[in-house]
Amino acid sequence: MLLRPTKMTPPPFIAGLVALAVSAMATAAPMEDLDPQIVKLVGAVSEERLGAILKKLESFETRSSLSSTDSPTRGIGAAREWIRQEMQSYSPKLQVSFDSYNVLKQGRITRDVELRNVIAALPGKSPRRIYISGHYDTVAFAGGQGNSNAGGAPGPRTTSLDPAAPLDNPAPGVNDDGSGTALAIELSRVFSQSGIDFDATLVFMAHVGEEQGLMGAWLHAKKAVDQKIPIQAVLNNDIVGNDRGGSRIVDGATIRVYSEGPEDSPSRSLARFVQRWGARYVPSHKVRPMSRSDRFGRGGDHTAYNQLGFAAVGFRESRENFTRQHDVRDTFEGISLAYLAQNARVNAAVAATLALAPPPPSVMNERGQPGITRAPSGYDANLTWAASPGAVAYRVFWREAWGPDWQHELAVGNVTNLILPNIQIDDHVFGVAAIDDAGHESSVTAYVSPARAEMNIKTSGH
């Protein structure tokens, strides 16, 4: 008996998946290509310019938030004015200004003071904002941070170097955080002179008051909340210029990226994006995501944005030298310009991709619940999301619920619904990213169950 193939009509949801898979194969290949504009932008980062910026920042001797402001060459006042003028000189497209706050004596702020962040905005076609930041203020203590704990671990802060004039003590802060500040300043030049028409607004920020409890970052983030400024992502850089650790280990090929949990928080999604796209444009530099908000017991300016609901991550060098931190030995000699430039290139690649891509899609339905069900069979993953402005396609991601990184991805067409047969939503985590016609991909929005409401059980009182 001769067996003949029989034509069978698949169920509608299977047919839909097959059609989407065909669409994926047609669109996936060009989306993997690198954007020549971004390649050129990344290549424009200059070690020489980073070095010149760092030496200038060091020349102010101290940049303590509470130092004198009446000298044109020394202290916080001279430093912030130079930063403002330097970024202003790069391009008429950059909108450079002071972001100022009058802060009363409190906590580590030992007197009433005016704090000024320096902000340079490169307007895009939309108001959503991508930040690249560092903090330009400094502090130095006797013995630095590594004066008490074995192994060079950060110890408690001790008496200032000159008790008679604690606010104007020498505090060069070339790595902490001249490195992050120089990175932000240099990228304001690179982006503003690139000729690229970005969809998102790029913001290059030099925060102040970080050493006084993240004060400048928190005040700006609070203003953003009050004024409904749409900050999509913050890439914060703090201590990113040294490749030689205090333990004598040298690592100039990796960078740590910290993000607050839980696993699929917006900040954790941003960290995955940094790893994914940083690796594509700067393959020689490895991004090491860290599943905690910052180094153990420590924090940075991105934490202030996290506290007020924004997606923000912290870039940190892989091998710190604690003996130089918060110490007069934090000088230019402790910097590797090649390493700092690589970290700047990763920031540039990530920020440019985010700013050119559509905004990430929303996966919440009209009831405020994630748009994911088990329909139609009860055993399928049925994903629905909202269309993202400027998107011509989407990429769906999923992984086993225990895994930290996406294991599977599927590029689909200009649709807002996908059914994955026989993939149970109880066993997997799902997400979706938006893609424009040039292949720029947004960060991934994950389908996350909302927190359960507190139980309020009435009892008889016995």
Q: What is the pTM of this model?
A: 0.89
Q: pLDDT at position 275, please?
A: 97
CATH superfamily of 12-34+360-446: Immunoglobulins (2.60.40.10)
pLDDT score at 452: 73
* Stretch 443-462: mean pLDDT: 82
How far apart CA 158 and CA 140 sit, in angstroms, is 10
Write down the pLDDT at residue 375: 84
* 368-390 residue pLDDT tens: 899 999 988 999 999 999 999 99
Mean pLDDT of 63-73: 94
Residue 348 pLDDT exceeds 80? yes
Strands 201-207, 231-237: pairing is unpaired
In CATH terms, the fold of domain 44-356 is Aminopeptidase (3.40.630)
The residue with tokens 């016995």 is 462
State the DSSP H helix or E strand holding residue 280, giving kind and residue range, or none if neither: helix 266-281
Distances (CA, A) of 223 to 97, 135, 219, 226, 337: 15, 18, 6, 5, 34
pLDDT band at 133 (very low <50, low <70, confident <90, very high): very high
Collapsing DSSP to helix, strand or coil, 349 comes out as helix
3-state per-residue secondary structure call for 118-178: EEEEECCCCCCEEEEEEECCCCCCCCCCCCCCHHHCCCCCCCCCCCCCHHHCCECCCCCCH
pLDDT band at 1; cut points 50, 70, 90: very low
Least confident of 5-9, 310-314, 341-345, 425-429: 5-9
Computed over every residue of the chain, the mean pLDDT equals 89
State CA 233 to chain mean position distance: 6
Q: Residue 299 pLDDT more than 50?
A: yes
Report the pLDDT value the prediction gives residue 453, as an integer from 0 to 100.
72
Domain ranges of the chain: 12-34+360-446, 44-356
- The answer to whether the CB of 94 falls within 8 A of the CB of 120 is yes
pLDDT of residue 145: 53
Tens-digit pLDDT profile for residues 209-238 = 999 999 999 999 999 999 999 999 999 999
pLDDT at residue 332, as a whole number = 97
Q: Is the pLDDT of residue 19 over 70?
A: no
What confidence tens digit (pLDDT) does each residue in 266-282 have? 999 999 999 999 999 99
- Whether 14 shows a pLDDT value over 70: the answer reads no
